[in-house]
Structure 1
Amino acid sequence: MHKFIPRLGGTELWLIAVIAVICIALSLTTDTFLTLVNILDLLNYSAVNVIFAAGLLVVLVAGGIDISFAVAASVVQYIVATTLISIGGGNWAMGIGLAIGFGTLLGAINAAFIYHFKIISIVVTIATFNIFFGLLMFLTDGVSIYLLPDWMVDRAVFFELETRSGWAELTLPVFVMVVVLLATWLLLRRLNIGRQLFAMGDNPEAARRLGIGIGKMHYLAYGWLGACAGIAGLMQMHYAQEVVPNAMYGRELEVLAAVVLGGARLGGGRGTLLGAVLGLALVAITQNGLNLLGISSYAFRMIVGAIILIAICMSGDTLDALRTRLKRTRATTRHGEAV
């Protein structure tokens, strides 16, 4: 049984402590933060970002980076919606299948350019970010879709309770989020191919010498993120009951900041699903708290930028170099005391 209980590392413990402090502060300064309605609304809204985070973690573990996934989700939203409408409505099975298929295809495009043309992942995904978004806005003229199939706009509620401040509900995106998290956990922690992803992210050359298919790992990592982006886009369409081409534009920074804050190393080879979820929880709670306190949304953008900057400065080689310097300093001090 203990094998299925996640081990809490230093990053996870630190995040839990910070989240607890923020929650206590918000509960004392606002009347609505700790209400069941607000907590479940926060969970329903964050489910899409958690699905994004699960896919992005796989890419970061494999040593890559992708900032095009939120735009890819918007593209998948539009393609799935128009396809379903053109065939008469479809159903959930068709919607999920199309979302995963189109999302995986967009992820594979990134993987192909990164692996076959030997281009740095950040450069490729900046390019595809602009290509995907530009094509979407050009071909749609920025027009939203409001007439969706009935099964898509009928809210699936798995839990509801009437409270003094309104109805508290748990909706379909939360259930799908749990399924995606479980699947990603199985991939990274229970399958041999997950260990190969960690090995490639930690040392690509050593992984190649061990016989790991580097190309296959690229397609797996970016395809997985693409599939998660497709699912997230479908859940956002269900939650919002509409398709707005630029609705998810900018979410990539929130998710990236959260996953890196949760301990995923930008250089690859390190990261936990629990840390990613906790990092996203911290970012989401901070955003929610600022909204409840009436503080400008620009403050949240500054916080996200600061998180990314701090994470880059304190990740990977920087921390390793710092540890090495500390060890050398201690060794020198002990040697001096011995003399």
Structure 2
Amino acid sequence: MTITQPGPRAADEVLADCRPLVEPALRAAVGTLPASTRRVAGYHLGWWGRDGDPGGAGPSGKAIRSALVLASAQATREASAQAAVPGAVAVELVHNSSLLHDDVIDNDTTRRHRPTAWTVFGAGEAILAGNALQVLACDVLAGAASAQVVPALRMLGDAVQQLLDGQCADLDLERRSDASLSACEAMACGKTGALMGCACALGCLLAGGTAEQVEHFRRFGQHLGLAFQHTDDLLGIWGSPEVTGKPVYSDLRNRKKSLPVVYAMTSGTPAGRELVALFQHSGPDGQRDLARAGALVEQAGGRRWSRAQADTQLARALRHLKAAAPRGEAETELVAMAELVVRRDH
């Protein structure tokens, strides 16, 4: 099966067309897990309820990263999406592994409008399921029908190491009172940029792209990942719970040193200093404190700065996409997807 249709597709059409390619392979892969980790993974992925009943299924993720793998493959060589499916599945597995772990680390109780996996099955079970998905990702990619399997595995492994390093940096930032903006940006580059860069590079690699093309696609995805993180951090403070599936001010409630928060705290403004004081005590607690913290981030310029940075990173990403010499219609589709990533509301 290949993704072909006359004229470039809109971003939502790209995502919709990728799902029937990726989801059967993703379900088949998760189906090979032992029952203990399979039930947690399937619940997290929205396929069934806590008892394994498909009638208890919930919303699935947007699958942006797996769609980027397939779109990057097609942008490199026409009708090559099928060859990149193992890469798309592997990236989706790693991403969901990180979400399972993140929910435990951040003590988040809601994801995609229902209880997080750890609150249903236990923290240990969620961590083990996340570990299982990481190993499964390597197994799926190792089965790709490509001469580039070994470099693809190394590429995925390197991205996972960067992602884990970014997660460690995120934890360190939460404990520090002197978090710097450069450290926060480096953390986001690892935690989010690395896997999105890997997704785009993997698609190009599995489609037979040149080393130069692969690198440009990697940097396209890396900058797109940073733009994604800025948008994600804005939604973590001001996103609508009805759309995001998370409580209002969720990142502030968890005392996360997100990009707009750290910008505000290091701005040298009165609002920034008040925000620092608020975080140094017990942190924002209660709806009034949370609303005040959100207002301080905005007054100190954090919201405006993060929005501008998302636009800057998007522009850098698109320059690398152009340099990769993608096929015409496929380039238009990737641009549409990139803009969706930055302009999304959930």
The TM-score normalised by the length of structure 2 is 0.28
- Higher RCO, Cα 8 Å, sep 6+: 1
Largest Rg, 1 or 2: 1
The TM-score normalised by the length of structure 1 is 0.28
